[in-house]
Amino acid sequence: MSQGKVVRNSDVMTNKYVMVDGLHTVADAVKHAIEQDVKVLFVNKRHDNDEYGIVLMSDIAKQVLAKDKAPERVNIYEIMLKPVFSVNAEMDVRYCARLFERFGISKAPVIKNGEILGLVSYQDLVLKGMMAVL
């Protein structure tokens, strides 16, 4: 992969995510995740100067399920990670993999012009990115 075709995050990302509002309850967000068959929830900006957030199913398991909290009484903003670490749509997947390793993350939203286009994960980087040049 060191020479030749450049594979970018936008080439390998998936569009399988759900955008929710921070005021939604965890119960509502989980319903949306089940309906859309996704494992990642992005939390929308509240205004232009705000940042996106993210909630993984593991966050819900650790912060709601394991603590025996009622999902209909916990809001997304209470458990989300914000700001979310994002990657540029035009970034080479090799650099994305390096960023993931350096910061200990495994997935991130793909951003272009301040808007989320999709989601990229290690799985996407390897199965779609690395294999695209072979």
Percent pLDDT > 70 in the chain is 96
- 3-state SS, 57-116, equals HHHHHHHHHCCCCCHHHCEHHHCCECCCCCEECCCEHHHHHHHHHHHCCCEEEEEECCEE
Residue 3: the pLDDT is 59
Task: State the pLDDT confidence band at 95, using cuts at 50, 70 and 90.
Answer: very high
Residue 5: the pLDDT is 83
pLDDT digits (tens, 9 = 90+) for 51-84: 999 999 999 999 999 999 999 999 999 999 999 9
Percent pLDDT > 90 in the chain is 90
When pLDDT is averaged across residues 82-103 and rounded to a whole number, the result is: 96
> What does pTM read for this prediction?
0.87
Residue in the block written with tokens 């309850």: 25
When pLDDT is averaged across residues 25-54 and rounded to a whole number, the result is: 96
Longest C-alpha distance within the chain, in Å? 52
Inform me whether the pLDDT recorded for 107 exceeds 70.
Answer: yes
Parallel/antiparallel/unpaired status of strands 40-43 and 18-20: parallel
- Residue 4 in tokens: 């030749």
Residue 16: the pLDDT is 86
Residue 133: the pLDDT is 62
Give the mean pLDDT of the chain.
94
